[in-house]
């Protein structure tokens, strides 16, 4: 069997989490997320973000969370501003348009949108013949594994305030971002500086589940109606609550992200040492080396990974994703094989 660096959702979940679910089998819960496990998880999140007044909702996956949130936050003529590489733009099959909203995109070098990008989009939209930009969509970490700094987030907030825009953060990979060695923001910063964001569970040890936090009291009214209407209010909401509660309370939510980041750091360092170029710096658990096509083909015999994009006629950027399950041996195996191949 090939060693997998394919993604961070290729196994069921962390055994501790699944054991927690198993242990709860004898319990009886109220449906639709109104149970005590969800309450405990909410409280754990309140503690984490330092805000007891935010709304916290548990949903099943990232696309679902994005479309439910955005359809609840926007009126029909309002549009989203997002990096051209944003997941909602590239890999969610028009989910946002399907609920009626246009996505206005900005080119970015590294998956991170800048105040001037936002300003530029807004300046091009001034009357009723055009959609009205209303929400800025960012990801932390981004699709390139990069992260915003606290200063950058503050600037985005300032820009949004000035232009009367909402700021929404897709945190499918928020834990690896928060645990990044190069990160300087806290969950409290995020809760304070965004109008809403979500903390991913599916890619971070849970079976599945995302926790949406709405800090802005003006935008979340009747949110549970939207969840139900879009098929995102699971009958067994308690399963999401108990997973998040366990992951947060035990510290697992952050420790496994840390572990994934560490492995990515080692992998990057080793490849750099070997002279390998990268498409983007490594900040979190995604590594983007640029490798000769012939070598890519040979590496694919022993390792599972995605080819990300063609860089030149002979070189391809591939994506290596590490997780809490990635071992030092797997890293070494990859690096050794790479070294042996480039020597030929």
Quote the least distance from Cβ 344 to a second copy, whole Å: 29
Q: Any bridge partners for residue 79, and if so which?
A: 133
Q: Which is nearer to a second copy, 191 or 237 (CB)?
A: 237
Among 53, 93, 329, 344, binds a second copy (CB under 8 A): 93
**Contact between 163 and a second copy per CB under 8 A:** no
Residues of span 99-128 touching a second copy by CB under 8 A = 99-103, 128
Q: Which of 48, 10, 55, 87 is nearest to 253 (CA)?
A: 48
Q: Long-range contact list for 293-298, CB < 8 A, 24+ apart? A: 295/338, 295/341, 295/342, 298/337, 298/341
Contacting residues for 88 by C-beta, under 8 A, at least 6 apart: 63, 66, 70, 80, 82, 95, 96, 103, 137, 170
Q: Which is nearer to a second copy, 153 or 209 (CB)?
A: 209
Contacting residues for 153 by C-beta, under 8 A, at least 6 apart: 185, 189, 190, 193, 194
**Contact between 50 and a second copy per CB under 8 A:** no
Number of residues that bind a second copy (CB under 8 A): 77
Among 68, 122, 174, 199, binds a second copy (CB under 8 A): 68
Q: Which is nearer to a second copy, 79 or 271 (CB)?
A: 79
DSSP string across 110-156? SS---HHHHHHHHHT--STTS-EEEEEEEESS-TTS----HHHHHHH
Quote the least distance from Cβ 295 to a second copy, whole Å: 23
Residues of span 14-33 touching a second copy by CB under 8 A = 15, 18-19, 21-22, 24-32
**Region of 62-70, 185-193, 274-282, 332-340 interacting with a second copy (CB under 8 A):** 62-70
Cα(258)–Cα(79) distance, integer angstroms: 35
**Region of 96-104, 212-220, 267-275, 276-284 interacting with a second copy (CB under 8 A):** 96-104
Quote the least distance from Cβ 190 to a second copy, whole Å: 23
Q: Which is nearer to a second copy, 75 or 343 (CB)?
A: 75
Q: Which is nearer to a second copy, 235 or 344 (CB)?
A: 235
Secondary structure of 306-336 in HEC code, one letter for each residue: EEEEECCCCEEEEEEECCCCCCHHHHHHHHH
**Contact between 217 and a second copy per CB under 8 A:** no
**Contact between 7 and a second copy per CB under 8 A:** yes
Q: Which is nearer to a second copy, 220 or 289 (CB)?
A: 220
Q: Is the CB of residue 191 less than 8 Å from the CB of residue 51?
A: yes
Residues of span 279-308 touching a second copy by CB under 8 A = 304
Q: Helix 237-250 crosses helix 36-49 at what angle (to 10 degrees)?
A: 40
**Contact between 203 and a second copy per CB under 8 A:** yes
- Radius of gyration (C-alpha) of the chain in whole angstroms: 20
**Contact between 244 and a second copy per CB under 8 A:** no
Among 38, 63, 282, 326, binds a second copy (CB under 8 A): 63
């Amino acid at each position: 069997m090939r060693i997998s660096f394919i993604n961070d959702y290729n196994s069921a979940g962390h055994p501790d989490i699944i054991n927690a679910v198993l242990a709860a089998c004898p319990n009886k819960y109220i449906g639709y997320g109104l149970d005590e496990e969800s309450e405990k998880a909410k409280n754990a999140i309140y503690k984490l973000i330092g805000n007891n007044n935010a709304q916290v909702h548990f949903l099943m996956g990232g696309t679902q969370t994005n479309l439910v949130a955005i359809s609840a936050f926007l009126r029909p003529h309002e549009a989203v501003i997002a990096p051209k590489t944003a997941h909602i733009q590239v890999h969610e099959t028009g989910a946002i348009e399907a609920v009626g909203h246009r996505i206005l995109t900005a080119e970015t070098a590294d998956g991170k949108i800048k105040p001037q990008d936002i300003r530029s989009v807004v300046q091009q939209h001034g009357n009723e013949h055009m959609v009205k930009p209303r929400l800025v969509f960012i990801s932390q970490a981004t699709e390139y594994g990069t992260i915003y700094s606290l200063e950058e987030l503050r600037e985005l907030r300032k820009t949004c305030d000035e232009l009367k825009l909402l700021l929404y953060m897709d945190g499918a990979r928020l834990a690896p971002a928060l645990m990044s060695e190069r990160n300087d923001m806290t969950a409290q910063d995020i809760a304070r500086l965004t109008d809403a964001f979500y903390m991913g569970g599916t890619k971070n040890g849970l079976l599945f589940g995302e926790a949406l936090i709405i800090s802005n009291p003006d935008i979340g009214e009747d949110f549970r109606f939207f969840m139900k209407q879009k098929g995102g209010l699971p009958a067994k909401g308690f399963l999401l609550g108990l997973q998040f509660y366990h992951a947060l309370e035990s510290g697992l939510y952050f420790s496994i992200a840390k572990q994934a980041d560490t492995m990515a750091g080692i992998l990057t360092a080793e490849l750099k040492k070997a002279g390998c170029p990268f498409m983007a710096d490594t900040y979190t658990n995604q590594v983007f080396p640029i490798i000769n096509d012939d070598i890519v083909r040979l590496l694919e015999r022993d390792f599972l990974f995605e080819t990300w994009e063609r860089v030149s006629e002979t070189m391809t950027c591939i994506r290596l994703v590490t997780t809490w399950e990635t071992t030092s041996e797997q890293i070494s195996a990859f690096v050794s094989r790479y070294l042996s191949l480039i020597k030929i």
